[in-house]
Amino acid sequence: MADVPVLELRSVTKRFPGVLANDAIDFDLREAEVHALLGENGAGKSTLMNIVYGLYKPDDGQVLIRGETIALGSPREAIQHGIGMVHQHFMLIPVMTVAENIVLATEPTHAGVLLDYDEAVARVRRLSERFGLAVDPEARVELIGVGQEQRVEILKALYRGAKILILDEPTAVLTPQEAAELFEIIRNLQEQGTSVIFISHKLREVLEIADRITVLRRGKKVDTIPREGATERELARMMVGREVLLRVDKQPATPGEPLLRVRDLHVVDERGVEMVRGVSFDVREGEIVGIAGVDGNGQTELIDVLTGLRRATSGEVRVRAKDITHADARDVLDLGVGHIPEDRQRRGLVLEFSLAENLALHDYRKEPNSRLGWLFPRRLLARARRLLREFDVRGGTPQTRAAALSGGNQQKVVIAREVARDPDVLVAAQPTRGLDIGAIEYVHRRLVEVRDEGKAVLLVSLELDEILSLSDRILVIYEGGIVGEFGPDVSEEELGVAMTGGRREAA
């Protein structure tokens, strides 16, 4: 029995109307193994694991736990079989504490009635110490960071006895530092006998953390290979079905006049804390300026002011010499700014609207979409059909609700809308967050095309590879100030030092 996989899928098939999401897939997971499930957006990774977690029932095939065939009708049944899942978008109750979220539905009680809160806190402390997942059991979830929220989700699964842990795109919302901490946690779990399925489309992290890698493409299994000897180029070819450029192919920039000018900008956050401190820079015609920095150093507040979502306390922002410092979001867009927001679900889309409606969110009042107050739905549908095809948005038609798409395809919808508007200045915040290697290649190419059309692109990203690959100039932000300017040939090490305050330029 020692060689029997802890989990095995045999010829698992899942169909949705018009879509074959999983086509006779075989998969197995061994004891204390990290097995990565790699594939493009829409390849069927999450659907397959939602079957394992009891959220979907397969149309054909078998699921086996330690050699025994089981039928999982719900997540509760999956948990009873020792399967836990941490979804890409966390499922925590913000107003409750960490301990309350972790023990929810399995709470220790006084006399079987009232919550024994002290015991709940003690249990969470013991669990977090055992697995090396440092959390404050008494902190309210709404006041902790994203990395901490993920730890809470993992502890929730472990508290319920999970020996098989499914992590769905676990680094999609993490900073590089938080991702490194997560990998340490995974290795610790592995040492204590937990088996991990790691769903991802990021080649580098899969090669860093996985023991074996299974690649899916358009609902079919391509192959399962050991990590040893695997390369990024080989995995990219398996994922996409063709050779993929892992670095951006672009000509040197030929910058013109400044299109975006920022002068001595100061911004405070909701708590009244100054997050942007005297920032000044230009972005010129025909260049991509990257802003690199550790998350939380003022990037979000800077983007919000540039796009009309927040007011500056002082300073000036100009687009083509027009002062937009105090303009609202609609006026900023009308004045030639495009915005790819860092949070596609809160800021980029109306999830209950159709894709056609989302693609027309800003320009629905203009011809040819409408005239004299009359909206022309057929024109919206025709435009949406063209953009969905052009930007390779999978999993939906123009009438599909945005909420029904995977996170990566939702991001493609946002990018399609903003690039198609042909703005003078494109503010791209985390433009490839949640995208697979093929989609990243496409988005990078489109951003370079926007630059080559004489537009100005401001790229704000936590991915150093992306900053180095795309940027013609790189500005480093630290504690709300620009602390260095570099060319595209700067090393990761030099950027990293500046990002952590190791080099401050004289004012």
Residue 178 pLDDT > 80, yes or no?
Answer: no
Model pLDDT, residue 1: 40
Nearest to 457 by CA among 274, 258, 282, 289: 289
CA distance 169 to 201: 8
Query: Domains of the chain by range and CATH?
Result: 7-240 (3.40.50.300), 246-336+423-507 (3.40.50.300), 352-417 (no CATH)
Give the mean model confidence (pLDDT) for residues 418-435.
Answer: 89
Tell me the pLDDT tens digit for each residue of 262-293.
999 999 988 888 999 999 999 999 999 999 98
Tell me the pLDDT tens digit for each residue of 458-487.
999 988 888 988 999 999 998 899 999 999
Model pLDDT, residue 30: 96
Model pLDDT, residue 394: 82
Model pLDDT, residue 363: 80
CA distance 456 to 337: 10
Residue 314 pLDDT > 50, yes or no?
Answer: yes
Model pLDDT, residue 243: 64
CA distance 48 to 28: 12
Nearest to 195 by CA among 83, 80, 71, 51: 83
Give the mean model confidence (pLDDT) for residues 296-321.
Answer: 93
Band the pLDDT of 175: cuts 50, 70, 90.
Answer: low
Strand pairing category for 258-268 and 314-319: antiparallel
Give the chain's mean pLDDT: 88
Residue 66 pLDDT > 70, yes or no?
Answer: yes
Three-state secondary structure call for residue 379: helix
Percent of the chain residues topping a pLDDT of 90: 58
Model pLDDT, residue 187: 94
Give the mean model confidence (pLDDT) for residues 181-210.
Answer: 91
Model pLDDT, residue 507: 36
Band the pLDDT of 244: cuts 50, 70, 90.
Answer: low
More confident residue, 501 or 21: 21
More confident residue, 434 or 443: 443
